[in-house]
């Protein structure tokens, strides 16, 4: 079986290496997974790539960890269990699984941390599980109401998935905004969605964006803290703004001195590592994963994969995302003979 693994490491800002190292011996209660695909989380990973992350961060599982270079990072691997320890249930052997694991061609892991992938899903669709879980969490935190007007800033993958889920609700209006034409086009293909260019100077005064009625519920998913100003201006009295972006160390001036003081607008931070206290008595992560799997079956987000790179060319993938994000939706790593 596989004796070495190729793992992506962030070495310093805008410098990465794919390092090959021997795998440890397989313990009796562990399994060996050979990765077929993993996806880049363009929001979080670009903060790491650019050196814009704080040195302490809440990881996906809610455990605070130090983040310092060199750093193996990533959290969306799909692969197949190719070897099991003698104490592991034989049902795991050969199973296609998902793991919250850094980009690596193979890894040894305890099966309790693996999530079996439904047979109805391809490995490419399954790679989107963390982003879909995030989208489910965002919608649950937003709690849209029948007939509301909803606006979403940012149509990267999380934005597109959130928009897709919201399109299933009986809303009065569902609008999105993004800087990039490719993302706006993908958003406009979702049923019932109107997408606008947030880069034009008169964006907020466009008659079909900013009517006499503002939005009841606004999602800020662009990754730009400055977008909060637009969100505040376009959200109605007593509306809600769900902030799903992780800004890292990026800063921007937020205008809270105008109408915001009297607006009773609620700014709600939303992060997938926890479940809203209002729901935690009835919901847990297992239930939320079940919802996310079913949503992946309906939406099939592999249609948004624009680029595929072998892991050995990871530097080209991050350079593309850094220098030409307008050309990408989802970038995937492939693992050669493991596919």
In the prediction, which pLDDT does 247 show? 75
Q: What SS3 class is residue 67?
A: coil
Q: Residue 219: beta bridge partners?
A: 152, 242
DSSP string spanning 212-274?
A: SS-EEEEEE-SS-TTHHHHHHHHEEEEEEEEE----TT-------SSTHHHH-PEEEE--TTS
User: Buried (b) or exposed (e) across 239-255, using 16+ Cβ within 10 A?
Assistant: bbbbbbbbbbeeeeeee
Closest CA to 156 of 315, 41, 295: 41
- What's the pTM? 0.91
Locate tokens 């007593």: which residue? 238
Running along the chain, 339 residues long, what does each successive block of 10 average in pLDDT? 88 95 95 97 90 63 63 94 96 97 97 96 96 97 96 96 98 95 97 88 57 84 87 92 82 80 90 90 95 97 97 96 96 83
- CA-wise closest residue to 216 among 255, 253, 264, 158: 264
Give the separation between CA 321 and CA 333, rounded to whole angstroms.
13
- State residue 220's pLDDT score: 95
For residue 5, what pLDDT is reported? 95
Q: Could you give all domains of the chain from N- to C-terminal order, each with its CATH number?
A: 4-117+301-338 (3.90.180.10), 131-269 (3.40.50.720)
51 near 68, Cβ under 8 Å?
A: no
Q: Which residues contact 317 (CB under 8 A, 6 or more apart)?
A: 40, 307, 309, 331, 333
Q: Say what the pLDDT of residue 225 is.
A: 83
- What's residue 59's pLDDT? 46
- What per-residue string of b and e applies to 273-301 under the rule 16 or more CB within 10 Å gives b? eebeeeeeeeeebeebbebbbebbeebeb
**Residue 296 and residue 129 in contact, taking contact as beta carbons nearer than 8 Å:** yes
Residues 52 and 249: beta-carbon distance below 8 Å: yes
List the beta bridge partners of residue 241: 218, 267
Q: Give the tokens for residue 331.
A: 């970038």
What is the pLDDT at residue 339? 60
> What pLDDT does residue 60 have?
45
pLDDT at 337 (0 to 100): 67
Whether the bond between 70 and the residue before it is cis, its omega within 30 degrees of 0, is yes
């Amino acid at each position: 079986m596989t004796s070495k693994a190729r793992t992506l490491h962030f070495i310093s800002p805008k410098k990465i290496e794919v390092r090959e190292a021997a795998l440890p011996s397989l313990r009796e209660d562990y399994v060996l997974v050979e990765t077929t695909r993993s996806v880049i989380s363009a929001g979080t990973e670009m903060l790491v790539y650019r050196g814009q992350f704080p040195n302490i961060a809440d990881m996906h599982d809610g455990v605070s960890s130090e983040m310092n270079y060199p750093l193996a990072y990533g959290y969306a691997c799909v692969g197949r269990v190719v070897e099991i320890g003698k104490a592991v249930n034989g049902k795991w052997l050969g199973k296609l699984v998902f793991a919250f694991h850094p980009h690596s061609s193979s890894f040894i892991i305890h099966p309790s941390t693996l999530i079996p992938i439904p047979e109805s899903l391809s490995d490419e669709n399954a790679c989107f599980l963390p982003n879909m879980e995030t989208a489910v969490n965002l919608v649950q935190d937003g709690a849209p109401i029948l007939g509301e007007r909803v606006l979403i800033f940012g149509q990267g993958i999380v934005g597109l998935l959130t928009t897709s889920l919201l399109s299933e609700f009986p809303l009065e209006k569902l609008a999105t905004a993004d800087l990039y034409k490719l993302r706006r086009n993908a958003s406009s293909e979702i049923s019932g969605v109107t997408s606008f260019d947030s880069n034009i100077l008169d964006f907020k005064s466009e008659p079909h964006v900013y009517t006499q009625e503002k939005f009841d519920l606004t999602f800020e998913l662009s990754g730009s803290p400055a977008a909060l100003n637009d969100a505040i201006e376009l959200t109605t009295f007593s509306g809600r703004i769900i902030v799903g972006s992780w800004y890292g160390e990026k800063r921007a001036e937020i205008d809270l001195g105008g109408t915001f003081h009297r607006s009773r607008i609620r700014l709600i931070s939303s992060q997938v590592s926890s479940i809203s206290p209002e729901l935690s008595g009835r919901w847990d992560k297992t239930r939320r994963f079940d919802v996310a799997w079913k949503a992946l079956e309906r939406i099939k987000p592999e249609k948004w994969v624009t680029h595929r790179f072998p892991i050995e060319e990871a530097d080209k993938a991050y350079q593309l995302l850094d220098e030409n994000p307008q050309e990408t939706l989802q970038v995937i790593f492939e693992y050669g003979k493991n596919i």
